[in-house]
Structure 1
Amino acid sequence: MGIFDWKHWLVILIVVVLVFGTKRLKNLGSDVGEAIKGFRKAMNTEEADKAPEQNTTAQQSGTPLNQPHTIDGQAQQVQDPVTRKD
């Protein structure tokens, strides 16, 4: 017996229905659903807007964006002249 017992959830559900009422809960559910739909739509349009921008950048540089870039170079050791005072 703990918080996950079905009897506890039933009591919590009854209390919530009595406090808020079924009409208010129905409106709350539809509002949450509309908010999720709006969020998904905004994310999809944002990704669609970014896709053409990425393609034009890749075309300008001549290499695809997902390819690794390497830099060739040669390391040289630099020694500072040491002056001694005897």
Structure 2
Amino acid sequence: MSSNDCWRGCMSLGPWQVFLVLLIIMVLFGAGKLPQVMGDLGRGLKNLKRELKDGKLMSTEDEPHH
């Protein structure tokens, strides 16, 4: 088994992990702010995907070396 296979297997999210993360978010922010927090998270992910698609984010290989 390669380290990449272990990483993929160890980092997969199951239903219990998702439930636990949502529960922690609800405790931290309260149920009233949950829709706002999830909306902000969704907008952030959408912007990240769009910028990656457009190639606006520079990779570390493109950075000039000093």
Shorter-chain TM-score bucket reads 0.3 to 0.5
Q: TM-score, normalised by structure 1?
A: 0.33
Q: TM-score, normalised by structure 2?
A: 0.40
Specify the structure having the higher radius of gyration (Cα): 1
The structure that is helix-richer by fraction is 2
